[in-house]
Amino acid sequence: MTWAKLRDKLGRAVSILRGVLAKYLPPPIKRPLSRFGKAVLRFLSRKQIKIDSETVRKTIETNPDRIPVIVFAPSLDWNVQLFQRPQQLALALARQGALVFYIQPKRDPQAPIVQEMLPGLFLCNISIHAFEVLEQPFVYLLTWNGGYACEFKSPRVIYDYVDDINVFYGNQEVIARNHVKMIQSADLVLVTARKLYDGIAPDRPDAVYCPNGVEYDHFAISRNGHRHSPPEDLLPIIEMGKPIIGYYGALARWFDYDLLKQVAGLRKSYSFVLIGPDYDGSIRTSGIEAIENIRWLGVKTYQELPAYLQYFDAAIIPFLLSDITHAVSPLKLFEYMAGGKPIVATPMRESAQYDDVLFAINPVDFSQQIDTALSLGRDPEYLSRIDRLAQGNTWDARALTILDEINARTTPENVKN
């Protein structure tokens, strides 16, 4: 067995042991053992870390005009089922002139160490320790990965508070502790929803409201007629000739399956299409697949979504109302608008600020609002209004907001190191 293979096996064994210790041991014992485990892993990887660090240094040297440097700590895999806010912000920040490193949560030995996804954005299959070559880097962190802050040298933390913390799986005590720590100490706090902002405003009045946005051109291509051929699994539904009422996104415990089942029963002349992953197994137990005019088409890639969206006659966001959903900035809201689709939703606080979204709670009202939405889909004035909303809420606009805040909070000489 080569040293490299032995090192990898030892590293995996130490990682597994750390996970077991973290789960079962009390903090006074767990913390020193965890630090020891980190030290062992780092020792085993020291040669690779040196190579990775040099790659980071050279990448910065070859992009001298890009400021600031922002490191996205490991969170979501770049090719995760749902292309989400971290990936979108990484792309948009790079488009707006930043130098962005997006660290993959799991190293892929078959992938390049550093891969340029577009000018200024580098997808990294490297150890987080490689970024110790940076003095005071800007580090993008989320509620569930805040522990990575200690892996950087004097980081300037951008904390993106994206959801009610109770929505995240894992040790809730640890998640809550990391959240409080980052609210108190982050250099910049971003908040995706008004409800979340109101909750932290007494402690962080300088927090920045920064809801989700849209990659406008990606979804607007289908506004004026059908630009994509019908997807194969959607074609039989299209051929029925019924209006198609569509939803895409995670299918999880906050989705109101009972509401949709009743609406489908009231509108049997409509076809209801669901796209997305069964996030927590809830769709399998909901009974929704037994409803004749509801079809779940499974997961589609981000690149495939416009081809489905263009055949929707109206779009829906039927979420249960709760503290969690009132704090949600629906990722799909402006995407639906960019695609020229009228929207019917339950009245979640974040969505309710937009007059051109139709709202209802009970099945009868929701059904009637879908009827109204189908009429609005033929109204040029309405379609123009939602198009302007989409164009005013792009990811590039969000990136500019973030960069303006960074510039306002740092002096010119230490924006980039």
Round to whole Å and give the CA distance between 298 and 397: 31
Round to whole Å and give the CA distance between 213 and 89: 9
Specify whether 190 is located in the same domain as 251. no
Round to whole Å and give the CA distance between 98 and 160: 17
Round to whole Å and give the CA distance between 274 and 245: 9
Specify whether 144 is located in the same domain as 268. no
Specify whether 173 is located in the same domain as 321. no
Residue 176 inside a domain? The answer is: yes
pLDDT, mean of residues 211-232? 85
pLDDT, mean of residues 88-111? 93
Residue 28 inside a domain? The answer is: no
Round to whole Å and give the CA distance between 413 and 400: 20
- CB-side neighbour CA atoms (13 Å) of 32: 2
pTM metric for this prediction: 0.86
What domain count does the chain have? 2
Round to whole Å and give the CA distance between 240 and 324: 37
| Nearest one of 256, 226, 186 to 409, comparing CA atoms | 186
Structural domain for 302, as ranges: 216-393
Q: Are 249 and 331 in contact (CB under 8 A)?
A: yes
Specify whether 202 is located in the same domain as 261. no
Residue 10 inside a domain? The answer is: no
Query: Is the CA virtual torsion 173, 78, 105, 135 positive or negative?
Result: negative
Residue 279 inside a domain? The answer is: yes
Specify whether 209 is located in the same domain as 224. no
Q: Best-predicted range by mean pLDDT among 7-11, 18-22, 46-50, 189-193?
A: 189-193
Residue 103 inside a domain? The answer is: yes
Per-residue pLDDT tens for 173-198? 888 888 999 999 999 999 999 999 99
Q: Are 132 and 150 in contact (CB under 8 A)?
A: no
Surface-to-core class of residue 302, CB atoms within 10 Å of its CB (0-12 exposed, 13-18 middle, 19+ buried): middle
Q: pLDDT band at residue 224, thresholds of 50, 70 and 90?
A: low
Specify whether 147 is located in the same domain as 269. no
Q: pLDDT band at residue 365, thresholds of 50, 70 and 90?
A: very high
> Which residue pairs from 264-268 have beta carbons closer than 8 angstroms and sit at least 24 positions apart in sequence?
264/291, 264/293, 264/294, 265/291, 265/363, 266/363, 266/364, 266/367, 267/293, 267/367, 267/370, 268/292, 268/293
For residue 14, pLDDT beyond 70: no
Per-residue pLDDT tens for 31-64? 554 455 455 445 445 566 778 889 899 999 999 9
| Nearest one of 160, 157, 78, 83 to 116, comparing CA atoms | 78
Residue 237 inside a domain? The answer is: yes
Q: How far is CA 26 from CA 29, 32, 239, in A?
A: 6, 11, 60
pLDDT, mean of residues 333-340? 96
Residue 3 inside a domain? The answer is: no
Specify whether 263 is located in the same domain as 166. no
| Nearest one of 67, 66, 90 to 78, comparing CA atoms | 90
Specify whether 201 is located in the same domain as 299. no
> Which residue pairs from 150-154 have beta carbons closer than 8 angstroms and sit at least 24 positions apart in sequence?
151/73, 152/71, 152/128
Specify whether 206 is located in the same domain as 296. no
pLDDT, mean of residues 244-251? 96
Helix, strand and coil in the chain, % to nearest 5: 45, 15, 40
Q: Are 202 and 208 in contact (CB under 8 A)?
A: no
Q: Are 273 and 336 in contact (CB under 8 A)?
A: no
Which tokens belong to 39?
A: 């030290």
Specify whether 201 is located in the same domain as 290. no
Neighbours of 11 (CB within 10 A): 16
CATH number of the structural domain spanning residue 102: 3.40.50.2000
For residue 276, pLDDT beyond 60: yes
Specify whether 383 is located in the same domain as 404. no
Residue 40 inside a domain? The answer is: no
Note if the bond before 306 is cis, omega within 30 degrees: no
Round to whole Å and give the CA distance between 5 and 250: 38
pLDDT, mean of residues 103-128? 90
Specify whether 373 is located in the same domain as 406. no
Local structure of residue 239 (DSSP, 8 states): H
The pLDDT assigned to 226 comes to 59
